[in-house]
Amino acid sequence: MPILSRMLYYDIKRRVKDGFFIGYNLIFPLVMIFLLGYLTSESYGTEFTGYHYYTVVMLPFCVAMAMITAAYAGKEDAYRKTALRLLFSPVTKAQIVLAKLLSCTIVISLCNIMVLSSASLIIRLPIWGAFFPVILLLTIETFATCAIGLFIGLGMKNFIIVKNILNIPICAGGILAGSFYPIGTLNPKLNTVLHLSPLTWINKSIFLYVFDHAPSLLWKTAGICLAVGIIFTGLAVKFFKREEYSHGDLPGFDQ
């Protein structure tokens, strides 16, 4: 346990200093919310504004994008050659995986809290009664996406390929969930398609909780995310291969 907490501490420290990491998870969602909210401000009323809409849909989408960040975090030690040091020192593969997973989850969740608090302050998102449950759902979603990202990242040598592969389903899921443009439909077939995206369920849970005070879907969604996260954490530890972990070059990566 003390070794894991040491690893976690330094991983968090390095993640907080990582401009890309903070850019993707703090700056990007804020910019998107304000940009899209501003561009669409005329299509909404005064009670429920475009800013409100995009705060709710952008955060889960950015958390899904964190899958790529986590995959990178999983490969980073290979590129820095420090993977070798972790492998020959007396640490277990579970410690290596958990340190990465928890550091990503914690730092991204802190970013989410900052984005959600600034959004609720600046654009008066009526979140106060729902702040804690929404953050909890986002944190659990972060845990799940990071676990999936790590599982994939740790198993593949080339991060660029991982990134290109992951980009497609994440963006498709985002489009279906209305992350970029609201999609509402009465067509039952299309509706079924929209609900194929996990992000649709997460967005819906938050909308229902915040605006309709209907909490049950949020708890169900959180439970499913938690289960997915735990399963992928187990898989990431089980399929951790020392060779895959230490090998890999990132074109253009120079220490």
Partner 1 sequence: MGSLLEVKALTKAYDGKQVVRGINFSVQEGEILGYIGPNGAGKSTTIKMIIDVEKKDNGEIFYCGEKIGNIMKVYKKAIGVVPQEIAIYEDISAYDNVKFFCSLYGHKGDDLKERVKEALEFTGLWEHRKGLPAKFSGGMKRRLNIACSIAHSPKLLFMDEPTAGIDPQSRKHIMESIKILNARGTTIVYVSHYMEEIEALCNRIIIMDHGEIIEDMEKSQLKLKFEKLGCKNLEDIFLRLTGTALRDGEE
Residue 82 makes contact with partner 1 by CB under 8 A: yes
User: Of 46 and 255, which CB lies nearer to partner 1 in the complex structure?
Assistant: 255
**Residue pair 78/220 in contact by the 8 Å Cβ criterion:** no
CB of 242 to partner 1, least distance (A): 6
Minimum gap (Å) between residue 172 Cβ and partner 1:
34
Give me the amino acid identity at 21.
F
- Contact positions with partner 1 (CB under 8 A) in 227-246: 242-243, 246
Nearer to partner 1, 141 or 244 (CB): 244
Judged by CB under 8 A, which of 27, 39, 41, 85 binds partner 1?
A: 85
Candidate residues 20, 46, 90, 186; the one interacting with partner 1 per rule CB under 8 A: 90
- What gap in Å lies between CA 15 and CA 21, rounded to an integer? 7
CB 6: neighbour CB atoms within 10 A?
13
Residues 192-221 that bind partner 1 (CB under 8 A): none
- What is the C-alpha separation between 72 and 238, in angstroms, rounded? 19
Rounded distance, CA 135 to CA 112, Å? 7
Q: Does 46 participate in binding partner 1 (rule CB under 8 A)?
A: no
Show the tokens assigned to 111: 């970013």
Answer whether 7's CB lies under 8 Å from 91's CB. Answer: yes
Q: Is 107 in the site for partner 1 (CB under 8 A)?
A: no
| CA 113 – CA 115 distance, rounded (Å) | 6
- What tokens appear for 62 in the block? 């950015």
Measured from the CB atom, the residue of 73 and 177 that comes closer to partner 1 is 73
Residues that bind partner 1 (CB under 8 A): 2-3, 6-7, 10, 13-14, 17-18, 80-91, 242-243, 246, 255
